[in-house]
Amino acid sequence: MNLDFWDKARAFHGHACPGLAIGVRVCDAVVEKMGASPSFDEELVCIVENDACGVDAIQALIGCTFGKGNLIYKNTGKNAYTFFDRQKGKAMRFYFKKKMPDMEREAFQQYLLDAPVDELFDCKEVAWDIPSHARIFASVICEICGESAAENKIRVQNGKKVCLDCFTNYSRIIIQGGIA
């Protein structure tokens, strides 16, 4: 395990925890399995399938961030991370396959930091299209609240351009627990 990665991730995240350790180790796996280095711009793209602590490690260590547009959130709730290396044309998915064993939190965290990446992750090459580069959208003023929003997030409601906060969603789809 790269101790510099752990120190840098802890400083960014604010504390040490098993979730952060998972993120650090997925970064180790990306370096080991893909030969990748931190992304200055959008050389690497990562699709994260959760919004947990490990995502902070990916931002701090690999340089995939929401602000640059090379960190994409896919809300599946899985500890899975797909990385695309634009320069090498390679994509790999890293699925965290370990479950929390019967051990104390600190011991589990240390296990995560010490275990081989192949023991922690199912690592496989995937044949996905690399996501497009991030786009910059024009701003549109919401005709209800007066705040600007990116044009791809504006909706038309009763003939007015409105932001998602002011938009009243309509659905007749029944989901478990009620109507969406």
From edge to edge, which strands make up the β-sheet containing 44-48? 71-73, 44-48, 80-85, 90-96, 121-125
Distance (Å, whole) CA 114 – CA 123? 17
Per-residue pLDDT of the chain (180 residues), as tens digits, is 677 889 999 999 999 999 999 999 999 999 999 999 888 888 999 999 999 999 999 999 999 999 999 999 999 999 999 999 998 989 999 999 977 678 899 999 999 999 999 999 999 999 877 778 888 899 999 999 999 999 999 999 999 999 999 999 887 777 776 655
Domains and their CATH numbers in the chain: 3-125 (3.30.1330.130), 139-179 (no CATH)
The residues near 10 (Cβ < 8 Å, ≥ 6 apart) are: 16, 20
pTM of the model: 0.79
Quick count: other Cβ atoms within 10 Å of Cβ 95? 16
Distance (Å, whole) CA 96 – CA 104? 19
